[in-house]
């Protein structure tokens, strides 16, 4: 799915300055974001685990399972994001199975990446860096 094309005409675009904390680990999450422009650091326990680029989904896990935020996201450059609340997310999942599959793919990719980092750390291999 071309997530940028899917949301190119969205009206709820928000401009964010570089260095802004979009959300913090441990907070309740009622909103997810689609990164349309710019880059953002996804941090867990103070460590950058991924640098998100345009097309990235941010905060989707909290909407999928109604949990607290599992990461902190900090903008690395000026960014433009689309904000999607829980009811909009539910409607997107209902109306677009392709969107639902895309969310699952993003979450699976992040889980695989974290498994690789854990395996490398356990085996004493140097970190291969952020994706």
Give the mean pLDDT per block of 10 residues along the chain (131 residues): 91 95 96 97 93 96 90 97 95 94 93 85 69 51
What is the residue range of 34's domain?
3-122
pLDDT of residue 128: 58
User: Is there a domain that residue 130 lies in?
Assistant: no
CA separation for the pair 121, 95 (Å, rounded): 41
CA dihedral 3, 71, 40, 82 (to 10 degrees): 40
> In the prediction, which pLDDT does 117 show?
81
Hey, what are 18's tokens?
């570089």
127 assigned to some structural domain: no
Instruction: Compute φ and ψ for 101, nearest 5 degrees.
Output: -65, -40
Separation between Cα atoms, residue 62 and residue 30, nearest integer Å:
7
Question: Residue 56 and residue 4: Cα distance in Å, rounded?
Answer: 9
Report the CATH number that the domain containing residue 15 is assigned in CATH. Answer: 2.60.120.10
pLDDT of residue 71: 94
**Overall domain count for the chain:** 1
Q: Which residues contact 90 (CB under 8 A, 6 or more apart)?
A: none
């Amino acid at each position: 799915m071309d997530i940028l094309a899917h949301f190119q005409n969205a009206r709820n675009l928000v401009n964010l300055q570089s260095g802004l904390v979009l959300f913090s680990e441990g907070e309740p999450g009622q909103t997810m974001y689609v990164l349309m422009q710019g880059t953002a650091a996804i941090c867990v326990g103070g460590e950058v685990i991924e640098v998100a680029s345009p097309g990235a989904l941010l905060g989707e896990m909290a909407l999928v399972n109604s949990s607290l935020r599992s990461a902190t996201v900090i903008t690395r450059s000026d960014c433009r994001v689309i904000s999607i609340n829980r009811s909009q997310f539910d409607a997107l999942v209902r109306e677009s199975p392709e969107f639902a599959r895309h969310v699952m793919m993003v979450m699976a990719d992040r889980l695989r990446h974290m498994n690789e980092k854990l395996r490398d750390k356990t085996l004493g291999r140097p970190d291969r860096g952020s994706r």
